[in-house]
Amino acid sequence: MQSEIRFALKFIHNCKKATEKRLWHHYFCQRNFASVLGIETSCDDTGAAVIETSGKLLGDCLSSQARISVMLGGVVPSVAAELHKENIESVVNTAMAKSNIGFRDLNFVAVTVKPGMPLSLKIGVSFAKSLASRLKIPIIPIDHMEAHALTALFTDPQLKFPYIILLISGGHSILGIVQGLEDYVLLGTALDASPGDILDKISRRLKLNRLSDECLKGVAGGKAIEIIAKTYNGDHQRFNLPLPRSQSKDCDFSFSGIHVAAEQLINKLESENHGT
- Dist. CA 65–CA 80, nearest whole Å: 8
Q: What does DSSP assign to residue 185?
A: E
For the structural domain made of 2-143, what CATH number should be given? Answer: 3.30.420.40
Q: Is the pLDDT of residue 260 over 90?
A: yes
CA distance 30 to 18: 18
List Cα–Cα distances, 62 to 50, 92, 146, 174, in angstroms. Answer: 12, 9, 20, 25
CATH level 2 (architecture), domain 185-271: 2-Layer Sandwich (3.30)
Q: What is the mean pLDDT of the chain?
A: 86
Instruction: Tell me the pLDDT band of 276, cut-offs 50, 70 and 90.
Output: very low
pLDDT tens for each residue of 14-27: 555 544 445 455 55
Q: Is the pLDDT of residue 203 over 60?
A: yes
pLDDT at residue 46 is higher than 80 = yes
Give the pLDDT score at 101.
97
Quick: pLDDT tens for 67-90.
888 778 778 899 999 999 999 999
Residues of the chain with CATH 3.30.420.40: 2-143, 185-271
